[in-house]
Structure 1
Amino acid sequence: MGRNKDPETPKELAHFNARIEGIDYDVLDELVGYAVRRAQLSIYEDFAASLGEEDITPQRFSSLVIIENNPGISQTRLSEVMGIARSGVVSIIDRFEAQGLVERQDAGDRRSYQLRLTREGQKQLRRVKKMVKEHDERISGALTPDERVQLCRLLRQLCN
């Protein structure tokens, strides 16, 4: 499935420590955006460690899930849903198509394709979903089930 090169995640960073003792974080401790970014870095590190051998990234995983649950979605619509440039989606779909996970179907417009998972794509996604769920349970293990629901709800509110 392919390695992600997140330009904001330093490659040489052996282990991300979200909180270093003895450092004065001043106003950063009060900033929601800073806290979310620090959490995201920790979560991404665990995701990469957990699924690195699968050659899957959060973006690729999300793309497969969206395609699976919205068969026939166009590349343009997928780019809107994912919040990435259409050229980025084309690159992701090219990779998936070469791996036999996704197929493009002509939508009657030469500039538009409908996307569908292949049988192999469905099979691989089922397997990877289990791994992602295990990762998610691990990274949210310090939260109660109610806190986890509340956190997801609060984060969705930030997106509105």
Structure 2
Amino acid sequence: MATQLKNLSDFSSATEIPSAAGYSFGIVVAEWNAEITNALYKAAYSSLIKYGAHAGDIHTYVVPGSFELTSGAELLLKNMKLDAIICLGCVIQGETRHFDFICNAVANGISNVAIKHSKPVIFGVLTTDNQQQAIDRAGGRHGNKGDEAAVTAVKMVNLLKQ
């Protein structure tokens, strides 16, 4: 698999990232798997700042788990004037089919919120087979999905505003 050899958060040569200045972002973070989601959050927040967002234009909200990311994003877009929402969570495969139901519901829910509000709602949810895979994607050898989610939000807001 190509992922094994690549830092997925390396944007140095592959793409141009527009400025985040003047845009407002919501970040919804799941508490479940906090070691991972906190690392995702720190990277997303830092990336938004790095690309020009002002700290006062970044609004962070915590929800219990990844399943609640959808309703968190919905509530933010319903009650605040935001240009994009970044949803950050981590679902790790266990012994039951619960993993499949949660991952499917979150992916579909986030897409539905984006379509309903015609705003970027970014899927920054790790869906891994084990804890090590999550660590590798939350600042480990494969980069940080939080960084990727922030860059995606900036690009999508820029697209929306063009």
> What is the TM-score of this pair, normalised by structure 1?
0.25
Whose strand fraction is larger, Structure 1's or Structure 2's?
Answer: 2
Which one has a bigger Cα radius of gyration?
A: 1
Whose helix fraction is larger, Structure 1's or Structure 2's?
Answer: 1
Tell me: higher relative CO, structure 1 or 2? Use CA pairs within 8 A at least 6 residues apart: 2
> What is the TM-score of this pair, normalised by structure 2?
0.25
